[in-house]
Structure 1
Amino acid sequence: MRRMREEPAAEKPSPFLIRPMTQGDMPAVTALEQASFKNPWSPELLRRELEHDWSTILLVEEPQPDESRKLLGLAIFWIVQDEVHVLNVATAPDQRRRGVARAVMDEVLARGRARRCVLATLEVRRSNEAALGLYKSLGFRPVGVRPNYYADEGEDAIVMVLDF
């Protein structure tokens, strides 16, 4: 009897659009940062990241019925030599648990693989259980601790690495 080859399950298309940030996005990105963090990135820091060749800011948006787009989240990362370094991932508080951070991290890692990177690194607050869970599910593993990394509250950062 001949065996039928199983077809992989069709991937559900993402409801999100992911694109690079532009200067025109600054007001919306600044508002997202302020809503997401006690110590948000300043417009000046964001502007500097936009100017660096090695830095990318990706925005996650959702198309709206009126043809506009709603900003849901972002990721800021560097690709230097053969490494992806994630500096910041933010999701609007009212959009959490929808897969926004996973979608943007999947894109960040895909871009690293396309550039033939061999590893990805990041730091995450020890208390951020949701982010730790996400990063572990993506294959990151904890490799160290940076004591008092988050100076605002003296909180440690967990250093995580993903080998491609």
Structure 2
Amino acid sequence: MRRLREDGMPEGRHPFLIRQMTHEDMPAVITLEKASFRNPWSPELLRRELDHDWSTILLVEEPLPNGEKHLLGLAIFWIVQDEVHVLNVATAPEHRRRGVGRAVMDEVLARGRHRRCTLATLEVRRSNEAAIGLYKSLGFRSVGVRPNYYADEKEDAIVMVLDF
């Protein structure tokens, strides 16, 4: 039997749609990046990630009553050999604390398990306590620090690892 979360929804389930990004999604993704980060990913960098065989960009959308979908978040990750490397997770500021990040990370990790990965890695800003908390709740552990990883803000990154 599945446990129910506080909102009555079965654990591991969510009301969002998750799908792979296409080139047609670029305007919405750029808007999300700009709203989410001081230094958003450029359109050129996003295009390159779309074209790499080893890279995946997942979008989290919410279906609207009129049949349209609203972009809430995304994750960019690589699967190389037996490792998932998470490059970017973004949630629109007005939709944070709704489970968007958890939903997309659950999907990223499920894809890694499906591909028989043994390890997932990521870097997260030292100051991003909400993200660190999410990653710890998913089983990630801190294994080191990359000094000044976010060079523009001179902020360290915490390196986190999850063993599958």
TM-score > 0.5, shorter chain as reference: yes
CA distance in 2, matches of 1:8, 1:110: 17
**Which has the greater radius of gyration?**
1
TM-score (ref. length: structure 1) = 0.94
Query: In 1, distance between residues paired with 2:24 and 2:60?
Result: 15
Q: CA deviation at 1:97?
A: 0.2
Runs of 4+ in 1 over 6 A off after TM superposition: none
Report the equivalent of 1:95. 95
Partner in structure 2 of residue 28 of structure 1: 28
1:16 paired with 2:16, answer: yes
Q: Say yes or no: does 1:78 pair with 2:99.
A: no
1:135 maps to 135
Shift of residue 62, structure 1, vs aligned partner: 0.2
Letter in 1 for 2:54: W
1:111 to 2:111 alignment: yes
Q: Which residue of 2 aligns with 1:125?
A: 125
Tell me the amino acid that sits aligned with residue 146 of structure 1: R
In 2, Cα distance between equivalents of 1:161 and 1:9: 27
Residue segments in structure 2 that go unaligned for 5+ positions in a row: 5-9
Aligned residues: 158
1:71 and 1:135 map into 2 onto residues whose CA distance is 22
Paired residue secondary structure (1:152): helix
Counterpart secondary structure, 2:19: strand
Letter in 2 for 1:94: E
2:7 alignment counterpart: none
Post-superposition Cα deviations, 1:74-128, rounded to whole Å, max 9, x if no partner, equal 0000000000000000000000000000000000000000000000000000000
* Structural RMSD (CA): 0.9
Residue of structure 1 in register with 2:158 after alignment: 158
- CA-to-aligned-CA distance 1:5-39 (integer Å, 9 cap, x gap): xx444626421000000000000000000000000
TM-score, normalised by the number of residues in structure 2: 0.94
Distance 2:3 2:160 in 1: 31
Question: In the alignment, residue 116 of structure 2 is paired with which amino acid?
Answer: R
Identity %: 81
Q: Distance in 1 between matches of 2:67 and 2:140?
A: 36
Q: Residues of 1 paired with 2:34 and 2:151: CA distance?
A: 18
